[in-house]
Amino acid sequence: MEVALVRKTMAEEAVPRVAALMPAYNAGEIINRAVESLAKSTYPCDIYIVDDGSDVPITQSLADFPRTKVIRLDKNRGVAHALNAGLTTILMQPYDFVARLDADDFCYPERIARQVEFLDRHPGIAAVGAWARFTEESSGRTLFIARTPDTPELVRKALNFNNVVLHPSLMIRTDVLKSVGLYSEQYPVAEDYELFRRIAQKFSIANVPSVLIDMRRSTGGVSLTRRRRQLFDRFRIQLKYFQALELGAWMGLFKTILLFFFPVSFIAKIKEYKDPA
């Protein structure tokens, strides 16, 4: 059996409207900070952690948190597969929204409440992200603030170039996932970008223009260690959803090709200069 569901301390209460989804692979003790930040949210949520075949099961390092379940996969198959395993379980329950967070990030107490309020006030918007503070892995110092486009129109245009919804900040309607489907496993380091492009074909996406999460810039992160593969997957996704009559689509392809020739350290410095804390 591929998936083993381990019950932690989920209280026997009415199911809340939000399920938080967190994939984890060899996350160690750092995951406790991320889960605690969700557990202390001002708005209640159930927390689903997908242990993507970690060498040491997550349950051995995970503290006792309320409303938390761990889904352990029998082997490591990548983020998209882990997310889909979690969503398969979540979508069988009567949740209205799914919120994402990564195992080394931090959710502000008001984050869930702010995004639920936003989606309730904007029924035509399918998914919403938020701004984030990026911190250095070792020192914790602030590197930059990621101020992503906020309105649906700005997000739609910017998606021609790159993913402008920070994946760990995402909250999405469960009905939308049932409509468009789960993550594609054909883009192993750009599964979020493909999903957002697919959603944008039918629905609107926005960002809350406030910093609601902290994200650690890890030396082992996908954008650093597999950047060229990420750019290649981005290029494939841009071609898949290419609109020949839209100038931004052409400019997005050109920018992705150009980025192949610049080191990631150069791009990081530009971000720090462009979006200082």
- Residue ranges of the domains in the chain? 1-104, 107-277
Out of 19-33, 133-147, 182-196, 224-238, which region has the weakest mean confidence (pLDDT)?
Answer: 224-238
Residue with tokens 């080394």: 104
- Phi, psi values for residue 228, rounded to 5°: -65, -40
pLDDT at 7 over 70: no
In whole angstroms, give the CA distance from residue 144 to residue 159: 21
Per-residue pLDDT for 208 more than 90?
yes
* Helix extents (H) in 49-184: 79-90, 111-121, 152-158, 174-180
The fraction of the chain above a pLDDT of 90, given in percent, is 79
Number of other CB atoms surrounding residue 15 within 10 Å:
14
Does the pLDDT of residue 11 top 70, yes or no? no
| Secondary structure (3-state) at 229 | helix
Write down the mean pLDDT value for the chain. Answer: 89
Pairwise CA distance, residues 21 & 49, whole Å: 6
Are 1-104 and 107-277 equal in CATH topology? yes
pLDDT for position 263? 65
Q: What is the pLDDT of residue 277?
A: 58
Better-scored residue on pLDDT, 167 or 7: 167
Q: Which amino acid is at 26?
A: N
Average pLDDT over residues 34-60: 97
In this predicted structure, what is the pLDDT of residue 20? Answer: 98
pLDDT of residue 45 exceeding 60, the answer is yes
pLDDT tier, 139 (very low <50, low <70, confident <90, very high otherwise):
confident
Question: Which band of pLDDT confidence, cut at 50, 70 and 90, is reported for residue 262?
Answer: confident
Average pLDDT value for residue range 47-70? 96
28-32, 95-99, 217-221, 226-230: range with highest mean pLDDT: 95-99
> What pLDDT, on a 0 to 100 scale, did the predictor assign at position 3?
44
Q: What is the CATH number of domain 1-104?
A: 3.90.550.10
76: its two tokens: 């490591």
Q: Are the C-beta atoms of residues 14 and 39 closer than 8 Å to each other?
A: no
pLDDT band at 218 (very low <50, low <70, confident <90, very high): low
- For residues 215-230, give the mean pLDDT: 70
* Better pLDDT: 110 or 268: 110
d(CA 183, CA 178): 11
By C-alpha distance, which of 207, 182, 205, 209 is closest to 124? 205
Instruction: List Cα–Cα distances, 180 to 173, 197, 202, 213, 251, in angstroms.
Output: 11, 11, 9, 26, 26
pTM listed for this prediction: 0.87
Sorting pLDDT into bands at 50, 70 and 90, what band is 8?
very low
**Between helices 191-200 and 227-240, what is the axis angle to 10°?**
20
Confidence of residue 188 (pLDDT cuts 50, 70, 90): confident
107-277: CATH topology is Spore Coat Polysaccharide Biosynthesis Protein SpsA; Chain A (3.90.550)
The C-alpha atoms of residue 130 and residue 163 are separated, in whole angstroms, by 13
